[in-house]
Amino acid sequence: DFGFDPLGLGEVPQNLERYKESELIHCRWAMLAVPGILVPEALGLGNWVKAQEWAAVPGGQATYLGNPVPWGTLPTILVIEFLAVAFVEHQRSIEKDPEKKKYPGGAFDPLGYSKDPQKFHELKVKEIKNGRLALLAFVGFVVQQSAYPGTGPLENLATHLSDPWHNNIGDIIIPRSILP
């Protein structure tokens, strides 16, 4: 908390703790999503939009690196994922200590990051800053996807860099066909 709160969201301390916890969780998801979107496209394995195509085929058999997943039908994967996330979220929701809600794991600290409180605080600040950057990157991916459906962020970047004057968001907002 650095005091910047133009909407007054942090006036109630209990709400502020909940907002901080929610922001941190969303940041962590974004930090997982952004590399998950960029790496497959960089490796030539398709983009994040086309990743769900296996779910549309009859039977919906999922594959991992070209091999069928034994439990690979979409409904089965969804049930497994729902149960796993529900268990973890239930465990987190019954925790009373707000710091343990935000930084779970307990004694699991194999690299010893939490031993020095000053260094641990510095790492927390780095985590939230990188998380906010990942949130903005993900919003950029979503906006880019709505402007150029079916293409990934790296493909759009390459197209833009090849001809920046003719391949940009301005062409979507103000199409050249309506210009004199």
pLDDT digit string, tens, across residues 60-70: 666 666 677 77
Ligand-binding site membership of 168 (annotated)? no
Ligand-binding site membership of 126 (annotated)? yes
CATH homologous superfamily of 13-50+98-178 = Chlorophyll a/b binding protein domain (1.10.3460.10)
Ligand-binding site membership of 127 (annotated)? yes
Ligand-binding site membership of 132 (annotated)? yes
Report residue 128 as tokens: 């939230």
In terms of pTM, does the model score above 0.85?
no
Alpha-carbon torsion, ordered 160, 165, 171, 176, to 10 deg: -140
Ligand-binding site membership of 17 (annotated)? no
Ligand-binding site membership of 26 (annotated)? yes
Give Cβ neighbours of residue 128 (< 8 Å, ≥ 6 apart).
23, 24, 27
Q: What is the pLDDT of residues 142-161, one digit of tens each?
A: 988 888 888 889 998 999 89
Q: Which residue has the higher pLDDT, 100 or 133?
A: 133
For residues 133 and 31, give the distance between their C-alpha atoms in angstroms, rounded to a whole number: 9
Ligand-binding site membership of 95 (annotated)? no
Cα dist from 74 to 15, 42, 60, 68, 69, whole Å: 37, 26, 6, 12, 11
| Residue whose entry in the numeric block shows the structure tokens 């997982």 | 32
Question: Per mean pLDDT, which of 38-42, 58-62, 91-95, 168-172 is the most reliable?
Answer: 38-42
Write down the pLDDT at residue 29. 92
